[in-house]
Amino acid sequence: MEEPTYVLVHGAWGGAWCWDEFIKDLDSRGARWRTVDLPSGQIGTDARSDLAIDASVVSAAAATVEGPVVLVGHSYAGAVITEAAPHVANLDGLVYVAATVPDIGQSHSDTARLVRVRTLMDGAIRVDGPLLLLDVEVAALALYQESTPELREWACSRLSTQTLASFRSARTAPAVEVPTRYILCRHDRALDPTLQELIAQRCDAVIELESDHCPFLSHSAQLADVLLG
């Protein structure tokens, strides 16, 4: 059976750079991968960049891959890969890493409010017109508290803006018949673990990691083992 290519989709305020450490672990295991940059999370982007636009970038990237594809979405990108899934002809699975999985008609924000628990990340977000900005010092402890100080500083220096439209636009895509896995991050301070437990019920299988919100930095080898396993 042909091994899949993992299309790695970053969360809000991020970029393809988020996976730089993680892909080293994938390379060491001989896995195939591809990354994308979501328009909604790029500095200077069109503020109208929404879920549908992000999803179209993911499906276009998947279309360039020969053989089966597994979409891997972190945080907000759970909504993105869910929206993109019906448009990926060679789709072999969906993996959600501490992510939202909206129902049809729900947005990322709707799903994130299913459990009313205020997180450290909530205190880092500021609305600036059509954009969402971050207090980087607070965000560092919400996103990367288990990473090394060096990795935390490196990641924080690359955080971007995020469009409000991306968080508020609703899923329209129907479900697809592929295996779905949810990787629940038990020490998460950005997407509360109790919320993740509820969201994970929408998936076929759940794997727990003793990790913060961004295991691709703090627990990279473990995440690679779980993904490839």
Query: What residue ranges do the domains of the chain occupy?
Result: 5-228
DSSP state at residue 186: T
Of the candidates 229, 220, 225, 221, which has an alpha carbon nearest to the alpha carbon of residue 179? 229
Phi/psi region, residue 72 (left: phi>0; alpha: psi -120 to 50; beta: rest), is: beta
pLDDT tens sequence across 160-215:
999 999 999 999 999 999 999 999 999 999 999 999 999 999 999 999 999 999 99
Q: Angle at which helices 149-156 and 136-143 pack, to 10 degrees?
A: 130
Residues 6+ apart with CB under 8 A from 85: 71, 91, 94, 173, 175, 176, 178
Which residues is 184 bridged to in the sheet? Answer: 208
Q: What is the mean pLDDT of the chain?
A: 97
How far apart, in Å, do the first and last CA atoms of the chain sit?
Answer: 15
Confidence of residue 1 (pLDDT cuts 50, 70, 90): confident
Question: Collapsing DSSP states into helix, strand and coil, what is residue 6?
Answer: strand
Handedness of CA 49, 54, 59, 61 (dihedral sign): positive
How would CATH label the architecture of 5-228? 3-Layer(aba) Sandwich (3.40)
